[in-house]
């Protein structure tokens, strides 16, 4: 309890006071003051013995002061040791919180990466809240829970984001709602066991709950929601800092999910806006891009491609003709067949389209599919004359879907083919124009599940359907899509100049 140094000081001082009070004698070594008291010392050189209490008063006071100082030093040391112990405890708790936060973040990051690799950019964000809740329940050893998001200016968590484990709807639980709101009102963790919960049971969902822990979620120091965990097997044993770390990590990931969702929406909107630009440029295409993307999605699934690659192919198929923006309408909208010179201009559109999408980082991975979707399996296609498996698989898939859509659509110079006629045409050219494996899967899919508008990728609707854009010339001829029988040299020059500006 006492260290040797301070123990000896206190003991000697107390003995000196006791000797003074009981006998009136104080024996000291003159050379060292009051550092040593010897009851058996004899009078001699260097030793003074006083026998009057009055004369001894200064010595008694000195001894008392020494005792007080010694005790004070010991108390101070005890306080320092206690403070050190408390600091050590705080440090250990902080380290535990940090380690838990890092472990939670690592697991979240790993599983989010796995989720994104499975579903690609266009999906997955909606699954993150469930993933966060699942990991939170594991952390506190609970078997059910829910995440609520703050909605509006009030603090009540009116929006249920996700729930796990409940037999009923947690929104109907008075316990869940009461203590979720309480955690948000207090900006603090709320934990309650059965004794407190009994008086709040109102529904069958409440009967499922033995204990509840509500953890507020903060995003950039702003209250954003709450994680509610119920029926923890280790209820009451979790450090508050650990739970706070959980809430902070959950908030950060949910915020990133929101940002990812906004990025995804922006990405999709960009793709669809560009696809719509193609329709405005060439109204005869109608829903061609949407049709092709629907076919591509089904074939990619039949080929066993992972979701991320399917997503890339679907987006590339929506934009496969984006290069036609650089082709004159006098060629695109010519009602008859193109001559050799005009077809040479049309052949520029894959290169124009590829270069265009490379300017947008998020679309750059689609460039190779757009560039090569008119290559032929026997090497007679364009622009690079690739053959067989030299052609990227995605481009081979888009090429088949593109041809099928063109054959089953009306064109100014011919009518549409039936589904069976188009499939037979694909099969007739398998191995020369088209990849045989892709044709086989495509034809089987088309015959088994005939393409329909409901299965095509959802579009935004053409602006050409809006009367505001149906401008006409004074004689009533449509301003967009009017018939042209011949192509002038100025049109050819315009297209070549545009091509060299974009590609060169």
- Answer whether residue 501 shows pLDDT above 60: no
User: pLDDT tens digits, residue range 332-361?
Assistant: 878 778 888 888 999 999 999 999 889 888
pLDDT of residue 424: 93
Rounded-to-integer distance, Cα 198 and Cα 327, Å: 74
pTM: 0.50
Provide CB contacts within 8 A for 453, sequence distance 6+.
287
Whether the link from the prior residue into 383 is cis, omega within 30° of 0, is: yes
pLDDT of residue 388: 94
Q: Please, what is the average pLDDT of the chain?
A: 70
pLDDT of residue 104: 52
CA angle 214, 220, 222 (to 5 degrees): 55
Mean pLDDT of 433-456: 79
- Answer whether residue 196 shows pLDDT above 50: yes
Rounded-to-integer distance, Cα 6 and Cα 20, Å: 22
User: pLDDT tens digits, residue range 44-61?
Assistant: 444 444 444 444 445 555
Q: Which residue has the higher pLDDT, 389 or 225?
A: 389
- Answer whether residue 478 shows pLDDT above 80: no
- Answer whether residue 380 shows pLDDT above 90: yes
- Answer whether residue 167 shows pLDDT above 60: yes
pLDDT of residue 162: 86
Confidence of residue 387 (pLDDT cuts 50, 70, 90): very high
pLDDT of residue 147: 87
Residue 418 and residue 459 in contact, taking contact as beta carbons nearer than 8 Å? no
pLDDT of residue 394: 93
pLDDT of residue 73: 58
For residue 263, which phi and psi values (nearest 5 degrees)?
-65, -40
Rounded-to-integer distance, Cα 206 and Cα 177, Å: 10
Mean pLDDT of 175-198: 81
User: pLDDT tens digits, residue range 281-318?
Assistant: 666 565 667 778 888 888 888 888 888 888 889 888 88
- Answer whether residue 369 shows pLDDT above 90: yes
The full DSSP string for 34-67 is TS---TTPPS-TTEEEE--HHHHHHHHHHHHHHH
Nearest to 442 by CA among 458, 454, 429, 460: 429
Rounded-to-integer distance, Cα 99 and Cα 109, Å: 15
- Kindly list the structural domains of the chain, giving each domain's residue range(s) and its CATH number in brackets, ordered by start: 4-94 (no CATH), 125-261 (3.30.450.40), 282-503 (1.10.3210.10)
For residue 440, which phi and psi values (nearest 5 degrees)?
-60, -50
The full DSSP string for 322-386 is GGGGGS-HHHHT-SS---HHHHHHHTTHHHHHHHHHHTSTTTGGGHHHHHTTT--TTS--SSS--
User: pLDDT tens digits, residue range 105-158?
Assistant: 565 556 555 545 544 444 455 667 787 788 778 878 888 888 888 765 554 546
Rounded-to-integer distance, Cα 411 and Cα 282, Å: 12
Q: Is the dihedral of CA 100, 104, 106, 107 positive or negative?
A: positive
Mean pLDDT of 12-35: 46
Mean pLDDT of 446-453: 70
């Amino acid at each position: 309890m006492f260290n040797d140094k301070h123990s000896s000081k206190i003991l000697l001082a107390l003995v000196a006071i006791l000797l003074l009070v009981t006998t009136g004698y104080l024996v000291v070594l003159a050379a060292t003051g009051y550092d040593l008291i010897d009851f058996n010392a004899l009078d001699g050189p260097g030793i003074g013995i006083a026998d009057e209490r009055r004369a001894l008063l200064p010595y008694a006071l000195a001894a008392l002061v020494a005792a007080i100082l010694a005790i004070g030093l010991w108390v101070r040391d005890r306080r320092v040791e206690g403070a050190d112990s408390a600091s050590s405890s705080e440090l250990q708790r902080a380290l535990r919180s940090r380690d838990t936060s890092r472990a939670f973040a690592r697991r979240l990051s790993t599983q989010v990466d796995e989720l994104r690799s499975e579903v690609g950019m266009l999906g997955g964000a909606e699954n993150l809240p469930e993933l966060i809740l699942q990991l939170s329940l594991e952390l506190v050893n609970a078997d059910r829970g829910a995440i609520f998001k703050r909605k509006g200016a009030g603090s009540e968590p009116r929006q249920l984001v996700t729930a796990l484990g409940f037999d009923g709807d947690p929104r109907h639980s008075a316990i869940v709602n009461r203590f979720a709101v309480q955690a948000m009102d207090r900006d603090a963790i709320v934990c309650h066991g059965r004794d407190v919960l009994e008086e709040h049971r109102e529904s069958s969902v409440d009967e499922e709950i033995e204990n509840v822990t509500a953890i507020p979620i903060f995003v950039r120091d702003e209250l954003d929601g709450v994680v509610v965990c119920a029926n923890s097997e280790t209820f009451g044993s979790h450090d508050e800092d650990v739970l706070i770390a959980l809430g902070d990590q959950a908030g950060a990931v949910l915020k990133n999910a929101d940002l990812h969702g906004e990025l995804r929406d922006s990405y999709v909107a960009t793709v669809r806006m560009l696809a719509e630009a193609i329709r405005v440029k060439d109204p005869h295409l109608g829903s061609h891009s949407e049709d092709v993307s629907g076919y591509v999605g089904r074939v990619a699934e039949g080929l066993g491609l992972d979701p991320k690659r399917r997503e890339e192919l679907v987006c590339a198929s929506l934009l496969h003709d984006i290069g036609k923006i650089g082709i004159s309408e006098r060629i695109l909208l010519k009602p008859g067949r193109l001559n050799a010179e005009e077809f040479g201009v049309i052949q520029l559109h894959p290169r124009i389209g590829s270069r265009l999408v490379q300017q947008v980082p998020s679309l750059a991975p689609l460039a190779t599919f757009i560039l090569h979707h008119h290559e032929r399996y026997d090497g007679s296609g364009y622009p690079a004359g690739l053959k067989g498996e030299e052609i990227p698989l995605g481009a081979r898939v888009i090429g088949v879907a593109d041809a099928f859509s063109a054959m089953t659509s009306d064109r100014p110079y011919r009518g549409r083919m039936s589904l069976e006629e188009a499939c037979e045409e694909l099969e007739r050219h398998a191995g020369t124009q088209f990849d045989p494996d892709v044709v086989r899967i495509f034809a089987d899919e088309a015959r088994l599940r005939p393409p329909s508008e409901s299965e095509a990728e959802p579009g935004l609707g053409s602006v050409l359907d809006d009367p505001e854009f149906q401008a006409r010339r004074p004689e009533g001829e449509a301003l967009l899509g009017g018939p042209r029988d011949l192509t002038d040299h100025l049109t050819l020059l315009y297209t070549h100049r545009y091509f060299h500006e974009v590609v060169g």
